[in-house]
Amino acid sequence: MADFVRTLSREVLNTGPNGAETREWLVANGLGGYASGSVSGAVTRRYHGLLIAALPAPLGRVLMLSQLSDVVIDADGHHYRLSCRDTGGDPSGGEAGEEGQTAALQEFRMETGLPVWRFRAGGAVIEKQVVLPHGQNIVHVTYRVMEAKAPVQLRLRPVLAFRTLESAVDRPLAGAYRITAAEQRYEVSAGPDLPVLRMAIEGGDFPMTLDGGIRRDVYYRVEDERGYQSRGSLWTPGYFSGEVGAGQSITFAAATEDWWRLEALPPADVLGFEAERRRRIIQNAHPSLRDGAMAELVLSADSFLFVPAGRVADQMRARAEGDEVRTVIAGYHWFTDWGRDTMIALEGLTLATGRHLEAGWILHTFGHYIRDGLIPNMFPDGKDRGLYHTADATLWFFHALHRYLGATGERDTLRLLLPKLREVIDFHRRGTRFGIGVDPRDGLLRQGQEGYQLTWMDAKVDDWVVTPRRGKAVEINALWHNALRLMAGWLREEDGEAAARPLVELADQARASFNARFWCPSAGHLFDVVDGEHGDDIACRPNQIFAVSLDHPVLERERWEPVVETVRSRLLTPVGLRSLAPGCRDYKAKYFGDLRARDAAYHQGTVWGWLIGPYVDAWLKLHPEDKEGARRLLEGFLPHLDEAGIGTISEIFDAEAPFTPRGCISQAWSVAEVLRCWVKTES
């Protein structure tokens, strides 16, 4: 089976402000850790690094190795830097060993999802590749000399951070770094509360010259643009140096794992096994996803599925029950696992890609976390307990389980979860945390508590909840009705009609009330919230599409078409749906600036890629024979795979052309919904 390659040419990479520095790559390790950076090599985010290790609580994800400053010295003594650096215009930000000119970046490619650079350094051509062995906090950076008239010298300087992922870049360095060496094995430590970083060079004689010092005033351009601290200090112990001839390669390896793990396999085998793992992932996916851009997105989907390394007790519990813990990173670089995102993304990430066993593990994992009728909204990094402030994540759990059962026919998971789902329904009927509960007068679900953001439109800055949507939100009630219908069906199948009847009556009441309350004749679409703090909210938002798109639509059939047409004409873009229609109060066309400015736009016009999924579902309900038209709705994402995060899909986009990608460079539900809908629109 051939490798899947996405190549960016020299012309693309050297295109002004949209070139190599604004494009980013990412490789995940299946534990929540990763390596990522700009294609240029400049470290522009606090989240960039060659080894972000996933460690047990309370550490969480820790940036261990920020970058590898790499210099080629040819036979004539000319120096060529392979990795660009950004010192914010301050030439004093460099360091010894980085003198000389920048090598010409001729090509960048993602080869079966792994990044490869090709440089010309004078008369030499050198390729560089980054690999993370799956399930290990290890990184390999391999350098291959493809062409050279004489051996070249490589000088590799590891630049370290040792800070938690979310720490500001100006956070003081560890009190004292210490490096020890034995037989060309090197260990850097920074106190008993931090892991040890182990480093070695495989494939050649590369002794390390120790000249430790501080690299001052590193400039993180994207952090500056986002309104965060943008200058910080990194530490380097020295540099490795040695010669490599044409046709030869060496590998720099770094890890927080023990030496026996780091040295268990030669680098060529690590690359070979990881490449083969990735090929098998593609081969196991739905046939329509095994080629081209969709195969790349299948590999992107793999990056979100992980074993939460920090939650050791959960792993022990699951294995004692003959199970495994799996969950989903919501997005890179800064999200952890979120209940809502996981349930929405589950079908596209796992069922469309043939990973049914892991889908079951994810459902079991979140079923274990149910408390007071709710699954967690999210798990903070470095914590082993979730936060539960969500009104919709638990309702999406019913949807995800339904899709899992439809794909697998496996009933044991349903029977395992059914008592917990009964509990969920009971808590919602009686009322649970955060004001979530059924209004007995109309059977609709209301939610809201001061200071909390409970729907997916959850932006909050300090005490300001940007879109509180307290009251009866349209998609919450579409999901509630859907959950009641699904639960009634499961109870009917397992326990008979009598067990299902009370839920059928609840669903009938909710549906009748929904259609009486949510339709706005003057606007020709659905209210976004009814019985809210300020009455009924007429804002035109995409949330109404769920009244049509879900498996059990709550909206009467004769009103599907005006709702879908409103969404098409006012909210649809080539890369998803706007979160608020132009012309509405508070509409923002661009998402940029500091945190407050960005969050003010986050759900006030900004386009969300994942919303293309429910729109495709609704479109096909109205036009079931138009799979070709529905497929065209996905094609706007294809050119996007060459920008922002290479080979993946961003979280959000500006609301107007050119629909600039923003937010996370790689978002689970964006990728998942495109994969799911690509399968659904297969002719």
Mean pLDDT per segment of 10 residues, for the chain of length 683 residues?
Answer: 74 72 95 96 94 91 94 93 63 46 92 96 96 97 96 95 89 78 92 91 94 78 92 91 96 97 95 97 97 97 91 81 91 95 98 98 95 93 84 98 97 96 98 96 96 90 90 98 98 97 98 98 97 95 98 98 98 98 95 90 96 98 97 97 96 97 97 98 91
In contact, 219 and 231? CB cutoff 8 Å: yes
pLDDT at 18: 66
User: β-pairing, 525-526 with 519-520?
Assistant: antiparallel
What pTM does this model have? 0.95
The CA radius of gyration of the chain, in Å to the nearest whole number, is 26
Residue 43 domain flag: yes
- For position 172, what pLDDT does the model report? 66
Cis preceding linkage at 658, omega within 30: yes
Same-domain status, 172 and 303: no
With respect to residue 344, please indicate whether it lies within any of the assigned structural domains.
yes
DSSP designation for 351: I
Q: Which domain holds residue 256?
A: 5-279
Cα 547 vs. chain centroid, distance in angstroms? 27
Q: Residue 323 falls within a domain, yes or no?
A: yes
In a domain, 284, yes or no: no
Question: Do both 79 and 190 map to the same domain?
Answer: yes
Q: Look at residue 459 and tell me if it is in a domain.
A: no
**Rounded to whole angstroms, how far apart are CA atoms 460 and 462?**
6
257, 279, 301 - which closes a domain: 279
How many domains, in total, are found in the chain?
Answer: 4
- Smallest Cα–Cα separation from 74: which of 126, 10, 142, 141? 126
Distance from the Cα of residue 101 to its chain's centroid: 35
Contacts of 535 (CB under 8 A, 6+ apart): none
Q: Are 303 and 381 contained in the same domain?
A: yes
Do residues 85 and 182 both lie within one domain?
Answer: yes
Tokens of 572: 């649809």
CA 414 to chain centre: 28
* Domain final residue pick, 231, 254, 279: 279
Q: Residue 199: its pLDDT value, please?
A: 98
pLDDT score, position 424: 98
Same domain flag for 72 and 214: yes
Amino acid at 314: D
Same domain? 578 vs 557: no
Same structural domain, 594 and 539: no
Residues 78, 184 within the same domain:
yes
Find all residues with CB under 8 Å of 664, minimum gap 6, and list them: 331, 332, 333, 334, 335, 650, 651
**Same structural domain, 238 and 188:** yes
Integer Cα distance of 57 and 63 in angstroms: 15
Say yes or no: 311 and 403 in one domain. Answer: yes
- Domain finish residue from 383, 410, 433: 433
Collapsing DSSP states into helix, strand and coil, what is residue 327? strand
Q: Are residues 81 and 219 in the same domain?
A: yes
Q: How crowded is the C-beta side of 226, counted as CA atoms within 13 Å? A: 17
Q: Does residue 264 fall inside a structural domain? A: yes
Domain annotation covers residue 136:
yes
In this structure, is residue 456 part of a structural domain?
A: no
Based on the fold, state whether residues 195 and 274 are members of the same structural domain.
yes
